[in-house]
Amino acid sequence: MPSPTTFHVDLDALHANLAVARELAGGRQVLAAVKANAYGHGLVEVARSIQERGSAEWLGVALTAEARTLRDAGVSLPILKFTPTLADDLPEAVAAGVTLSLGDVRSVDEAQAAAVAAGVTVDVHLKIDTGMRRVGADPADAVALAGKLAAASHLRVGGVFTHLPISDVVAGEGFTRSQLALFEATVARVEDVVGPVELVHAANSGAVLGHDLGRTTMVRPGIMVYGSYPDAATPHTRPLRDVGRWTSRVSFLKRIREGETVGYGRTWTAPRDTWVATVAVGYGDGYSRLLSSRGRMLIAGRSYPVVGRVCMDQTMLDLGPDTPTVGVGDEVVLMGTSGEERIGVEEIARLMGTITYEVTCLITARVPRTY
């Protein structure tokens, strides 16, 4: 049976956004971040499409399980695992041909042991922490760690990278420039030990859209691939296309009287006689409870406010006092366009007090993705 709620993914739009990243990359290789179920858009389908169209040379994941899923689905592109890999996860990561991120002595020792046990040489990227203060080697420790990598018989240093925490806003330009300068100086010292490194990368979406990429040889677009700028304050230097369109359907219509309340907690009181439509979507689908009496949805090109609390499986809209033209079964747009109206993911993020990344990542597995 079809689900009333669906997340429609426009792969052509996704590839158009990747083309923007490639243009801005200026001949550098492109790694598309597909972690977290491709930011909610469907890991396997997105990765397969990227491979088929050749719109990126690399894929980026956070979990070994994500890489394993891609390999089982026939995706053969190189995969970089951004995050540290725990010792008991290494055999699976090595078997899946994952490129590992290493940033301390322990991770080098454990990766070397796993590679020796498997009888293979494992490609690794050295992670340098230039200011994120999350994971990776401090620049002062990078040369010593590079020496340890150079001495590891079953590890090959294919890349060096860092991450930029505030490259997406003008206020962060100075910090980002200092990070990039520190990174380039550190890479030069690492190369004195291990020799020339093929892949040097730092640029996330914010840096791709708004920074000099310097001597780097690869970029790592993430949220821009899916049609969003990384921050509400990010300069819109290039147009991006919406990739996701989230829809549901009207399941019930009800006439209510002035002064009656709607939903759990009786948080919304009808200011007049009105019609209420119930929509077959709720926080169990990823439509956040933070949108209670704040969000809106579109039906046939018209906007209607959410009233009362978003329920697990249902949400109510105020259609107004007039006899509705809306009917049970009608399409409801939660995110995307309907007629001349549009609800962008950035609007939903603003109302939730969060970022666009979280909005699509919250869409749950029970919502089918269509392509």
| CATH class belonging to 244-370 | mainly beta
Name the residue with tokens 């989230």.
Answer: 246
Q: Read out DSSP for 306-361?
A: EES---SS-EEEEEESSPPS--TT-EEEEEEEETTEEE-HHHHHHHHTS-HHHHHH
Select from 36, 41, 22 the least CA-distant residue to 242: 41
Torsion-angle region of residue 34: left (phi > 0), alpha (psi -120 to 50) or beta? alpha
Active site residue 35: yes
Catalytic residue among 127, 254, 264, 371: 264
**pLDDT (tens digit per residue) in 167-204:** 999 999 999 999 999 999 999 999 999 999 999 999 99
Distance in angstroms (rounded) separating the CA atoms of residues 19 and 13: 10
**What are the residue boundaries of the structural domains of the chain, listed by start?**
11-226, 244-370
What is the CATH architecture assignment of 11-226? Answer: Alpha-Beta Barrel (3.20)
pLDDT digits 0-9 by tens, 228-282: 999 999 999 999 999 999 999 999 999 999 999 999 999 999 999 999 999 999 9
Give dist(CA 208, CA 221) in Å, integer.
7
Do 11-226 and 244-370 agree at the fold level?
Answer: no
pLDDT 10s digits, 136-172: 999 999 999 999 999 999 999 999 999 999 999 999 9
> Which two tokens mark 371?
């392509």
Question: What single DSSP character describes residue 291?
Answer: G
